[in-house]
Amino acid sequence: MASYLIKDTNGVIWTPTALIRWPNLFVPSLPKGADPSKTPQFSVTAVLSAKEPDFEEFRAVLWEELDRACVAKHGANIAEMRQRGRLKLAVKRNNDPEVGKMGQPGFKERPDGLHFGATTQFKPPVNDMNGMGMSSDRSDEIYDGMFGQIGVTAWGWTHPTGGKGVSLNLVGVVKRFDGDRLGGAQADMSAVQADDNVPEGAKVSPAHDVAGGGAGGAHDTAPAQTGGGGGNYGF
């Protein structure tokens, strides 16, 4: 059993403590090279370690949520959609050679973990490690390389050009503790969201207690262990 409530009473999925990369939580922006006519987004990337005590439980709950959103939008689960053709998922393995993240700080130390990007058009609530809400005057405390929990919901999308996928809506962030400032360049979020046909419900970060994610497991301060089991989740 997990040490915290992975899926809260509002249906939000909370990560264990994760490395936070490329947080853009106070001022929305567009990915580099994006169509300037598109709506700017708030975004963040979470890098998860397989050594977290709650990692396997979280992965199972997240997969179930992604599968549910896939069926709701596309009429088939992830496995069936992949058999029919390529389906874009927001969640990737850190060591996936097609993604090519293993040379970047935070990914190479967690080879058996996962990462995902999450976005929203509306400013997500951000809490500090004491559970207090944070505003833009404290933006220097939210940085690339800190550790925290991310709250997300899943939604399926279809692009006008025919592409299909399941992405993650950013609902909230809770900072857990400080880490080394990485100062990386802006993340390429284009693969984790649809530019068009975004369901209205996926744009809104629902009101909830962002501190409800719980402790989120042990502090992630050492390299991830190799190996590890887990179900047949596809990531």
- pLDDT tens for 141-190 read 999 999 999 999 999 999 888 899 999 999 999 999 999 999 754 444 44
Q: Which two tokens stand for residue 176?
A: 């857990």
Residues 171 and 161: their CA atoms lie apart, in Å, by 28
Residues 184 and 105 sit within 8 Å (Cβ to Cβ): yes
Mean pLDDT score of the chain, rounded to an integer? 82
The two three-digit tokens of residue 156, written as one number: 């399926």
**6, pLDDT greater than 60:** yes
Q: Return the amino acid letter for 104.
A: Q
Which CA distances in Å does 50 have to 14, 81, 211? 15, 27, 23
Sign of CA dihedral 14, 20, 22, 27: positive
66 and 91 Cβ atoms separated by less than 8 Å: yes
Domains and CATH numbers, the chain: 13-213 (2.40.50.140)
| Res. 218 pLDDT band, cuts 50 70 90 | very low
Of 29-38, 65-74, 134-143, 200-209, the least confident:
200-209
Residue 56 has a CB neighbour count (10 Å cut-off) of 16
